[in-house]
Structure 1
């Protein structure tokens, strides 16, 4: 089993910037945890991925820099294409989608890079990707293009395995508002793909926001033959009485990311400010990744109970080996919860990883 944290929380988008963040964040985090090795769920923006894929020397350099700091990479986050920490991201994160050859090329470049970064003992590498596309617009022409690209993706991954002897799998990440929002849609829309190489990246915050019950969700995927190739350990924001908590919730309204909001009753809005303005009845779960180890300000809570249940079910029923902590929202948390400097962010990520490590260890011991 590999536990990592996702580096899309950092803004670096060039190879030099990625290497620089290793000393600023990753190495201090490893030292805070007292670990010999720290896993990174590396995010490489499209220009950096293209440069690395075309230059074996650059890949050797990055692997050497990782090894020198006691860092390992078995998974890459291939959902954001670039500019993920820009002032405004919102719907831009879903472009280019799987109707575009740019998305196909980027993902295969990531796979090519990953085989040279993985430690020798890793049984496979994983790349997470967006769940095909945002739900609109969608028609037969776009569907034909997307599924054609998924077929090409599977063939490309097979070629990489033939050439290198290393297996890379791609997991499509169900997310609120997208073509694949939940495991019901994942089971339906991914059942016909090459499930030996393609599957699901299960983000546990997204699972909670969809109000899915973990055991049922995992059974649904197994029944459809769709594997979980990667798990993102994340928690969403919850408001049992959003009208009463509106003043506290307003502090979470921010311009960078979408915060899709779903009520237990089935009401759906694509951003938190809209849900607040419309006074949608609660309870709500909100696509706002909050730190795993720290409860939000009362009366808000997080979906950590869903995460705990999901981890228990995953360890009992899945052979997924990649668990990645993905709290990319540290920089947009309400001001009083935001880290003040790089050291504060390293402290927070280390605390999240310690929480995840302890949870995984405890659940494995009790099995």
Structure 2
């Protein structure tokens, strides 16, 4: 069965009380907007909340009940941001702690422990997405060795968890521009030898676009490397065919919270959008700025929705889908240009529902919602 969800990292919360409030403010409203009996959430749990839940079976049972009574289900967690994802400035902080640190290992195993108890009865497995090892600098053999040791320990921990609970949970490393693993070619090279029973790739389709990868070739590359696609993030990036002509429109997307890596089809790169504008990189550009799936940016800008649609077709093309967890991840609603931001919580819920309706249209009718 395919599972569709939306990622709750769009909502600020740092503790369990805040997470429960999100359910009532947003998730229930989204479910009602879609007239769905059950709505899937790609839950984001900050590290302190994950640790609290992992240490307390009673709290996990409570969280599962709170989901059930609201018609919500969770088969996937977003384990990329560690905490404080809605701080005034996030930028490079989102990559810390990275996989050279035991903090990252502990957090990810906490998430897996929580997810094993949240999985609905009909789910074959759970998934957790995580960062692609680290930001690219600094990186050396010692850091690579430390990360590999933690990945090996992660696989053993997931194996032990499945044996103890009967609920398998897999972890997907999410290639992202600017990181140690930027694209599927680097994933194939740098993640070779991982235990693919438990570890694989989280394919974020905005990141795939910004890296100027073609979906069919990217999936062939992962298959050839034996790397499973554990999770797909349905996201669209910002695109400018002629950045010079679109410079004024692009400046409206410059903002202080998140990093917006910019890549030209010519292979020229900048680590943030303001840098790309200042350096006048040759175009066309794709910008790591997750834009709503259902609403095209104002001309002359466009989004990478055509690539998203092509990628979903490729993922579903074989006798069996290449992945069964699809998560809409547009976390940038409240940093969009002011005229595009939701006015209130109800407007945000309607926007998320509209995105999910687009995602539904791309997936088979029997998808779990």
**1:347 aligned to which of 330, 345, 350:** 350
1:244-255 equivalence runs, <5 A: 244-255=245-256
Using the TM superposition, give the Cα deviation of residue 361 of structure 1 relative to its aligned residue in structure 2, in angstroms. 3.2
User: Whole-Å Cα distance in 2 between the matches of residues 360 and 106 of structure 1?
Assistant: 31
Give SS of 2:171's match: strand
User: Whole-Å Cα distance in 1 between the matches of residues 263 and 141 of structure 2?
Assistant: 28
Question: Are residue 194 (structure 1) and residue 195 (structure 2) matched?
Answer: yes
User: Whole-Å Cα distance in 1 between the matches of residues 366 and 69 of structure 2?
Assistant: 32
Question: Are residue 37 (structure 1) and residue 38 (structure 2) matched?
Answer: yes
Using the TM superposition, give the Cα deviation of residue 191 of structure 1 relative to its aligned residue in structure 2, in angstroms. 1.6
1:206-225 equivalence runs, <5 A: 206-225=207-226
Structure-1 residue corresponding to 2:154? 153
Residue-by-residue CA offset, 1:91-121 (whole Å, 9 max, x unaligned): 0000000000000000000000000000011
- The total of aligned residue pairs comes to 364
Structure-1 residue corresponding to 2:290? 289
Structure-1 residue corresponding to 2:326? 323
Structure-1 residue corresponding to 2:134? 133
Residue-by-residue CA offset, 1:188-245 (whole Å, 9 max, x unaligned): 1112100111000000000000000000000000000000010000000000000010
Using the TM superposition, give the Cα deviation of residue 319 of structure 1 relative to its aligned residue in structure 2, in angstroms. 3.2
User: Whole-Å Cα distance in 2 between the matches of residues 363 and 213 of structure 1?
Assistant: 27
Question: Are residue 299 (structure 1) and residue 308 (structure 2) matched?
Answer: no
User: Whole-Å Cα distance in 2 between the matches of residues 330 and 319 of structure 1?
Assistant: 29
User: Whole-Å Cα distance in 1 between the matches of residues 56 and 346 of structure 2?
Assistant: 33
Moved over 4 A (4+): none
Using the TM superposition, give the Cα deviation of residue 332 of structure 1 relative to its aligned residue in structure 2, in angstroms. 0.1
User: Whole-Å Cα distance in 1 between the matches of residues 90 and 129 of structure 2?
Assistant: 19
8 Å CA contact retained: 1:312, 1:363: no
User: Whole-Å Cα distance in 1 between the matches of residues 307 and 361 of structure 2?
Assistant: 16
Question: Are residue 335 (structure 1) and residue 347 (structure 2) matched?
Answer: no
Structure-2 residue corresponding to 1:113? 114
8 Å CA contact retained: 1:74, 1:124: yes
Using the TM superposition, give the Cα deviation of residue 363 of structure 1 relative to its aligned residue in structure 2, in angstroms. 12
Name the structure, 1 or 2, with higher relative contact order (CA <8 Å, separation 6+).
Answer: 2
Using the TM superposition, give the Cα deviation of residue 362 of structure 1 relative to its aligned residue in structure 2, in angstroms. 7.5
Question: Are residue 357 (structure 1) and residue 360 (structure 2) matched?
Answer: yes
Q: Which runs of 5+ in 2 are unaligned?
A: none
8 Å CA contact retained: 1:80, 1:94: yes
